[in-house]
Structure formats: C-alpha cells, structure tokens
Copies of this chain bind each other. A is one copy, B any other.
Amino acid sequence: MEDAEQTIADRIQARLETLTRAERQLAHSILENYPASGLGPISALANDADVSTPTVARMVQKLGFKGYPEFQSELREELKAKVKSPIAKHDTWAEGAPSGHMLNRFTEAVIDNIRYSLGQIDTGDFDAACAQLADTTSKLHIVGGRITHTMAEYLFLHMQMIRPDVIHIQSTSNAWPHYLLDVKEDDTFVIFDVRRYESNTLKLAEMARGRGARIILFTDQWRSPIHSLADICFSSRIVVPSAWDSAATTLLLVETAIAAVQDLMWADTKERMQTLEDMFDQTKLFRKFT
C-alpha cells in the first residue's frame, strides 16, 4: 500500500461527491458489504449495484487504480493488514471516531435498548395490536404527549394512508371533549405516554376507557399509569447518555406495526395508495426524479 493510512473505503468516501449517479450507486453497494463485495468478479459487483460492468471498470480507474484486478489486490492487502492487527474491533459504530465519541456511546445505548425491549415483547400482543389497528369496523384515535406527539403524528400520517377513519387528537386538551363525543364502543385508542407522564393524557385515557374504547399503549420501561387501563401495552427502554430520553425504540415499534398492518391490509390499501399517488401527481408536490 503506497498510501499510508487511507483505506480504500476512505478513498471512496472522500470522492463520493465527485462521482456520478451510477458510480455513487456502485460506491454504496461496495461499502454495503465492504470489503467482501469488492473481492468478487466485476460482473457480480455490477449486478448487485444495478450498474453495468464498464461503470465499475471506469470507477476503479477514477479512484486511481490501473484496473479492477489492481483494485482487488489492494483490497486484499487491506484485509490482510486488518486481520493481523491485534483487534479487528468492530465494536465501534462510527468508524474513525473514538469509541468514547457521543455517536458511538449513544448508538450503543440505543441498540441495547432495542435488544432489551424487543426481547421483552410479547409477539402475541404485537400481532393482536396490529390486527386491531387493521380493524376498519371501528375508528382509530391516536394521541401523544408533549414530546411523544411527534410519534403519534408519525403513526397517524402512515395510518391515514393505510386505512380510513383515523383521527389524530392534538394535544390541546381543551378540544378533547369534542373528539370524545364521537367515540363509540370498541373504537381503538393508541396512546403514547412516556415518563414525565402527563396528567392530561391519563385523563383522556380514562375518558376513552369510560366510553368503552380499547387502548393500545406505547410507554417506557417504567410504564405509564395508563397501563392499567390499556388492553395492550408496549414498553420500550429509553435511557441513553443524554439529558433526555430516546424515542428510537418506540419509533422502531411504531414503524414495525405500520409495516405489519400494511401487510395485513394490502388488498384494501393498494387502491388507496394509488389514489394518493394520483393526487400527488396533480399537486406536483414532489419532484419527478431522484
């Protein structure tokens, strides 16, 4: 290796800006399974990245190699060196940052939270919750707290695409009675309540319960007092090296639920999505490509 301390991955990273679309696509594919992907035949790599082989050949030349074989050769050298070095420590997430860097500490904590929380989860509950979310015979109300209303809204935005009769109850508690007026027996409430449990939210839960609604609760490891009112309760560990809590695990659960519900309802949703697309087209909200 002529270049002192720079890995090929670094070189690719560095030149990412100067690359063309297909090349960038390829670059990502290389970095995806680095370095294994780069050690196979050029055509396999091209295939994985959905580009043509000439693109690969050109890019490696752009990166300063004489040809693909030379590129591979240096990759192998790099691999040799890496394996030899005392610890091939991949226990750090943001490579190039000390393991004490906030990025690594925080990510570590979040992964830990995810592992722990997922380990705790009752899959039966989860499936039941998804089924309930997919039940269009009754309305679906979604509500969050001071911070968690962002999660609530995230769920709302997606549910709204998937099914009809989804209501997002905004956090201004003055308006709650109006919302509750229309609640029927067996309506579903999804409630987010994590620590600094809000008395307002508890009130709402009680009222909803009083009107016969079923409650799905997303809370933290200590569980909001609402859990005694809830039919199904998901608790996520939320502690991270920060003055605040992490919503990452909660979001993961929410997104997973969205995916699961979407799977359950694909037949009904498909058409709904198409209609949505058409409307987007008409409003020209999005750019056509990339």
Contact = CB atoms under 8 A, between A and B. Distances in A.
A265 to B, nearest CB: 10
A90 B94 contact: no
Contact of A286 (B123, B196, B244): B196
Q: How large is the interface on A (under 10, 10 to 19, 20 to 34, 35 or more residues)?
A: 35 or more
A150 B157 contact: yes
Interface in A33-75: 33-37, 39-40, 72-73
A116 interface: yes
B102 A259 contact: yes
Given A36-B80, A73-B40, A111-B87, A258 B244 contact: yes
A121 to B, nearest CB: 5
A242 B259 contact: yes
B255 A246 contact: yes
Interface string A109-145: 0110011101111110010000000000000000000
A200 B147 CA distance: 26
Number of copies: 2
13 contacts: A37-B76, A39-B79, A40-B72, A93-B119, A103-B256, A106-B252, A197-B287, A197-B290, A199-B286, A242-B255, A242-B262, A244-B258, A247-B255
Given A87-B111, A106-B255, 14 more contacts: A33-B83, A79-B79, A90-B115, A96-B122, A96-B123, A107-B118, A107-B252, A110-B252, A111-B111, A150-B157, A197-B286, A240-B255, A248-B251, A248-B252
Contacts of A102: 256, 259-260, 263
